[in-house]
Amino acid sequence: MTEQNRLSPGDTAPAFTLINDRGEDVSLADFAGQQVIVYFYPRANTPGCTTEACDFTERFDQFEGASVAVLGISPDPVDQLAKFRADRDLKVELLSDESKETLRAWGAYGKKNTYGKISEGVIRSTFLVGADGKIEQAQYNVKATGHVDRVLRDWM
């Protein structure tokens, strides 16, 4: 994914409707009028993704207190997301994007450099979508450890 394909503050957040870990449809439009953290992660129950999801869960009350919804999106199938939630007692909404259509629309899927190896996959990314549906903050190539604390400190 080239820099020019990435979302920036002021861009309209791409719409989506995805299935959550309970088999229900969830749309970005469901959160109209409210700020939303949308974060993309490569794979449920892997070390970095678990760190990030658990950190969002540990600080969930802070986001909820600020009226900010938190949506985690990965290409995992619904059953893996359900297991991830159950295994880790997660509070954040987990959404499945097996087609990777939403990942691509948000610039969160493409070529990436992992430890010097170029591959194609999910680019760990986090966005703050404003109540007006515009991107307020965008960060690509997120490092999972400490990320949620940085989001709370710098974006909230």
Residue numbers annotated as active site:
49
Q: Containing H/E element for 153?
A: helix 147-155
Rounded CA separation 69/132 (Å): 14
Can you say whether the dihedral through the CA atoms of 136, 75, 19, 57 is positive or negative?
negative
Residues 28, 15 contacting (CB under 8 angstroms): yes
Angle between helices 47-58 and 78-88 (to 10 degrees): 60
Q: Where are the alpha helices (DSSP H) in 12-105?
A: 47-58, 60-65, 78-88, 101-105
- According to DSSP, the β-strands at 17-20 and 25-27 are antiparallel
Q: What phi and psi, each to the nearest 5 degrees, are found at residue 73?
A: -125, 135
